[in-house]
Amino acid sequence: MDIAALKLRREELLRQVAADMERLRKLKMVKMYRTKNDLSELQDLIDKWRTACQTALEELHHMTSEPRPPMGKLISDWKVNPELVQFDVETDSFL
């Protein structure tokens, strides 16, 4: 092999090492994220948030003057996504 071919091979290997190092860095980040963020704990927090939000919406609904608008209208007026609080628009109730 001549010097030019060796230089090309060296550059190719350096690029491959850099790509492998980047992949390893990303894999380490994924591992750290998974160990740091326990998905069951995250789901528990989501459930607590949803329950608190539903309670707040129900209390707000009871505070409105008569005649009370349907809960679905109150939720849409406050621009809350019904799916996030598990509200069924058809039955006008929480799931």
Q: List pLDDT tens digits, range 32-73.
A: 887 777 777 888 889 999 999 999 988 988 887 778 888 888
* pLDDT for residue 61: 85
Asked whether the beta carbons of 60 and 74 are under 8 A apart, the reply is: yes
If one compares 69 and 28, the residue with the highest pLDDT of the two is: 28
Average pLDDT over residues 64-92: 85
Q: Identify the pLDDT of residue 9.
A: 94
Tokens at residue 37, please? Answer: 């963020």
How far is Cα 27 from Cα 30, in angstroms, rounded to an integer?
5
Res 26: pLDDT: 96
What mean pLDDT, rounded, does the chain reach?
A: 88
Q: Are 71 and 87 in contact (CB under 8 A)?
A: yes
d(CA 47, CA 40): 11
